Structure formats: structure tokens, C-alpha cells
Amino acid sequence: MTAQVSPHTQTVPEATAQPIEKVSIVVSRGSLDGVYPGLILANGARMEGIEATLFFTFFGLDAILKKRQDHLKVATVGNPALHLPTLLGALPGVSSFATAKMKKEMEKLDIPPVGEFLTMIHDAGCGIYACRATVDMFHLKPADFTSEVDGVISVGQFYEKAAGGQILFT
């Protein structure tokens, strides 16, 4: 069966929706607004019965590091979505204010803090992995990570885990 797109274009076959069965989500930014999209997508996937894997790389590792997990901030410099002039975003206290405001709004929506969210997602069956190259580059040790981390894997191992599914980059 085909659907007419417009009188000036060719007809295209109607898409047959295939259910998503597996997602692998790459988290590369360590700001609060960089980590939460991956957590929300992984949580949503698990709630829908979709297999999910989180792969933390570069500064995204901050979300799974014991010393940094509870200290993630909203990026205020160079973040066009905040609609702040760069100079204003660089002023002392602006990032802390934006972070506190975002956390307060998320709390109103019953969105848990990063550590609690990771535990919840992990307990729901989501695999949580750190990028081998980044771990080596930053000279990190297994003891640096939270207990939810299932392992430190290479990019090749990540692709093996992602095979047959969708890869999302947040």
C-alpha cells in the first residue's frame, strides 16, 4: 500500500512500525542537564519492557563516580538553552542557582536525584558501563565508581552489547 505525499512528489510506501526492543544510550556530558536525558530515556525504556544499556564516556563519567555524582551542576556558560549572556553565566553563583532551581523543579515532578535514579534503573535491569578509553585517560580505578556500574568496557564491547538495537547519544 502507498500513501500520496503531495501532488508534486512520488508516492512512498507506508512505514510499518516495528517495536523498539533494545536501546543503548551514550552519556558523554557530565552536567546535570547532560546526564538526566540518558537516565530518563533508560528508565522509560525499562518501564516499557525495552532492554536498555547506559554507556558513560568522557565527562558523562561524573554521573557514576562516587566523588562527583552528587555534585553535578547545570552548565551556564555556553548553554544557549538558558538564554543567558555568556558573561552572566560565568558570574559566581549563577551555576549553583540554576542547578538548585532545576533540582527543585525535578523534585516537584518526582524525578529522583542522580544516584537514586541510577540505582532504580539498574535494579530494573539496565546495564551500566563505563568507557575503557576514558577510564584509562582519566586514570580511574574500579573503586572510584558507584556500585551500579556493571563494568568498564571498550567501544567494541559496547557495540557488541548494542547489536540489534538502537543507539542514542545524549
CA 61 vs CA 17, 54, 68, 108: distances in Å: 34, 11, 9, 26
**Whole-number pLDDT of residue 94:** 81
Q: What is the pLDDT of residue 114?
A: 96
Report percent pLDDT > 90 for the chain. 68
Check residue 81 and give its pLDDT. Answer: 75
| Residue 167: φ, ψ to 5° | -110, 125
Q: How confident is the model over 87-139, as pLDDT tens digits?
A: 677 778 788 888 888 889 889 999 999 999 999 999 999 999 999 999 999 99
DSSP letter string over 58-74? GGGGGGGBTTTGGG---
pLDDT more than 70, % of the chain: 91
Neighbours of 131 (CB within 10 A): 24
| Residue indicated by cell numbers 567494541 | 156
73-90 residue pLDDT tens: 988 777 777 777 776 777
CA distances from 92 to 45, 76, 77, 88, 104 (A): 38, 11, 11, 9, 20
Confidence of residue 10 (pLDDT cuts 50, 70, 90): low
Domains within the chain, CATH numbers bracketed: 21-169 (3.40.1260.10)
The CA-based dihedral angle spanning residues 98, 99, 103, 105, taken in that order and rounded to the nearest 10 degrees: 10
pLDDT of residue 80: 72
What is the pLDDT at residue 13?
61
Placement of cell 564516556 in the chain = 57
Mean per-residue pLDDT over the chain, rounded = 89
Model confidence at 9: pLDDT above 70: no
Position 116 scores a pLDDT of: 96
CB 81 within 8 A of CB 154: no
